């Protein structure tokens, strides 16, 4: 096994163009030499969601600048990296293609090996990069595009315990913000309002809690919130500041409670299916930034006897360091890709799990 591995990673599967250099010396925690992220919020702001065409074009225009910035920040040139790792799915296909073409060009030009990375594996293996996490552990991935529970057995072996059958929670937060006239991205704004609100005023549903297992649903919650809002508007002609805060608090409490209960079931399934002696729950995704949700999960872990790990937020949300890290793991395993490697819009981590019914607006098909 090579002592030191240095990988350039590229990410462009949704609305963040990112490049990063990660170095790993065997037996020592990873060193993130650079992690550059160009977000596209401004480009999509007028459309109420990510426009795949605009995203793909922006990735194509920015990837090489992003790579240059990442190499510069790492004080390296392309010839000094061992391989180029790139997200080749799942995601919005135009963006994924932009990244894959860029990576192939760099690999061919510099004569470096190419490594194909599953975006979800990037999230799932982040605790190994940031905290040297030991297999197996339980991962809850909650973002604007994804929501699933995974047992991470090894760098290339995952069991999907369940996930959303329709919207991702971040998407529901964003839609709630839109319904209530707040801005974008909605999660932090809904959270800010919720602090001032009374979560008990509106009785919003806790979807799928009556069904066994870890699957979740968030689209009905959004409809219930819309109804509650419309009732007030019909009655009073509009929302007061307090109405809005109470709706946000009620919505956030419903999401938190649902996530915590489903996580409890995932913890039990994890214990059933592994022989972990020090079980751990790790989170990833933007929604994991929510204080109420995080506190609920932390409390649950205490009760279940699980360690709780939330990597720094910049590595929980979309970034290329996590892609470079999977590159490190695959490099050490000798798992390289050919120049014929294809971009994949759908690419579940657990090939044996039954396909989910729905998908998030951001296009994660996993
Ligand atoms: O992981 P992320 O950056 O990537 C994508 O899915 O693209 O997650 C972004 C999502 C958005 O939907 C955002 O509203 C949500 O995470 N989010 C939050 C909070 N901060 C970000 N949701 C709830 N509470 C927050 N504090
Ligand atoms: Zn992601």
CATH number at residue 20: 3.30.420.40
Q: Does any ligand 1 atom lie closer than 6 A to the CB of residue 187?
A: yes
Specify the residue with its C-alpha closest to ligand 1, atom 14. 187
192 and 124, same structural domain? no
Q: Are residues 295 and 150 in the same domain?
A: yes
128: confidence class by pLDDT, cuts 50, 70, 90: very high
pLDDT category at 307 given cuts 50, 70, 90 is: very high
Which residues constitute the domain of residue 111?
A: 4-132+315-333
Give the mean pLDDT of 148-155. Answer: 97
Centre of ligand 2 from the C-alpha of residue 242, in Å: 34
Contact 89, 29 (CB under 8 A): no
Domain identity same for 64 and 29: yes
Tokens representing residue 129 in the block = 């990069």
Q: Are residues 308 and 323 in the same domain?
A: no
Residue 171 alpha carbon, nearest atom of ligand 1: 12
Number of folded domains in the chain? 2
Q: In angstroms, what is the span from residue 283 Cα to ligand 2's centroid?
A: 12
Concatenating the DSSP letter of every residue in 280-328 gives EEEEESGGGG-HHHHHHHHHHHHHHT-EEE---HHHHSS-SHHHHHHHH
The answer, yes or no, to whether any atom of ligand 1 lies below 6 A from the CB of 317, is yes
Please tell me the distance between residue 184's alpha carbon and the centre of ligand 1 in angstroms: 10
Q: How far is the CA of 289 from the centre of ligand 1 (A)?
A: 7
Give me the pLDDT at residue 365, please: 45
Q: Could you tell me the distance, in angstroms and rounded to a whole number, from the CA of residue 366 to the centre of ligand 2?
A: 11
In a domain, 358, yes or no: no
Ligand nearest to the CA of 49: 1
* pLDDT grade for 357, boundaries at 50, 70 and 90: low
pLDDT per position as a tens digit, 319-356 = 999 999 999 999 999 999 999 999 999 999 998 887 66
Assess whether 305 and 158 both reside in one domain.
Answer: yes
231 near 282, Cβ under 8 Å?
Answer: no
Nearest CA to ligand 1 atom 7: 144
* Smallest CA separation from ligand 1 atom 5, residue: 144
Query: Based on the domain organization, do 88 and 185 belong to the same domain?
Result: no
Concatenated DSSP letters for 207-261? TTTTSSSS-B--HHHHHHHHHHHHHHHHHHSS--HHHHHHHHHHHHHHHHHHHHH
**d(Cα 122, Cα 304) in Å, to the nearest integer?**
26
**Rounded (to 5) percent helix, strand, coil in the chain:** 45, 20, 35
- Determine the Cα–Cα distance for residues 349 and 68; give it in Å rounded to an integer: 30
Tokens of 310: 């939330």
Same domain, 110 and 150: no
Per-residue model confidence as pLDDT tens digits over 48-83: 778 888 888 989 899 999 999 999 999 999 999 999
3-state DSSP assignment of residue 134 = coil
Q: For the segment 86-110, what is each residue's pLDDT rounded down to a tens digit?
A: 999 999 999 999 999 999 999 999 9
Starting at the earlier edge strand, list the strands of the sheet with 4-11: 31-39, 16-25, 4-11, 83-89, 114-118
Q: Check pocket membership of 40 for ligand 1, CB cut-off 6 A.
A: no
Q: Which structure tokens are listed for 229?
A: 């809002």
């Amino acid at each position: 096994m090579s002592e030191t591995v240095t990988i350039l990673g590229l990410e462009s599967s949704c609305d963040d163009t990112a490049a990063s250099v990660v170095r790993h010396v065997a037996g020592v925690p990873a060193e993130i030499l650079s992690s550059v992220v160009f977000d596209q919020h401004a480009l999509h702001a007028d459309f109420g969601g990510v426009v795949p065409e605009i995203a793909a074009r922006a990735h194509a225009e920015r990837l090489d600048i992003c790579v240059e910035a990442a190499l510069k920040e790492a004080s390296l040139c392309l010839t000094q990296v061992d391989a180029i790792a790139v997200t080749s799915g799942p995601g919005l296909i135009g963006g994924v293609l932009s990244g894959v073409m860029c990576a192939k060009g760099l690999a061919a030009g510099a004569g470096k090996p190419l490594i194909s990375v599953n975006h979800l594996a990037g999230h799932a293996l982040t605790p190994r990069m940031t905290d040297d996490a030991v297999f197996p552990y339980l991962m809850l991935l909650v973002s604007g595009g994804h929501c699933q529970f995974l047992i991470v057995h090894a760098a290339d072996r995952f069991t999907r315990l369940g996930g959303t059958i329709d919207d991702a929670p971040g998407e529901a937060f964003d839609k709630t913000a839109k319904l209530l006239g707040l801005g974008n991205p909605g999660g932090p704004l809904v959270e800010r309002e919720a602090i001032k609100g009374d979560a008990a005023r509106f009785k919003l549903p806790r979807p799928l809690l009556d069904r066994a297992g870890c699957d979740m649903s968030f689209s009905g919650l959004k409809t219930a919130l819309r109804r509650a809002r419309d009732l007030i508007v019909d009655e009073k002609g509009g929302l007061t500041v307090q109405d809005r805060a109470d709706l946000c608090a009620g919505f956030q409490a419903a999401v938190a409670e649902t996530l915590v209960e489903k996580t409890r079931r995932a913890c039990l399934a994890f214990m059933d299916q592994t022989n972990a002696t020090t079980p751990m729950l790790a989170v990833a995704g933007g929604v994991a930034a929510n204080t109420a949700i995080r506190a609920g999960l932390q409390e649950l872990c205490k009760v279940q006897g699980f360690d709780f790990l939330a990597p720094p937020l910049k590595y929980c949300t979309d970034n290329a360091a996590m892609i470079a890290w999977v590159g490190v793991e695959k490099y050490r395993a000798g798992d390289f890709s050919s120049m014929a490697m294809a971009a994949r819009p759908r690419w579940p981590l657990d090939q044996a799990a039954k396909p989910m019914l729905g998908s998030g607006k951001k296009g994660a098909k996993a």
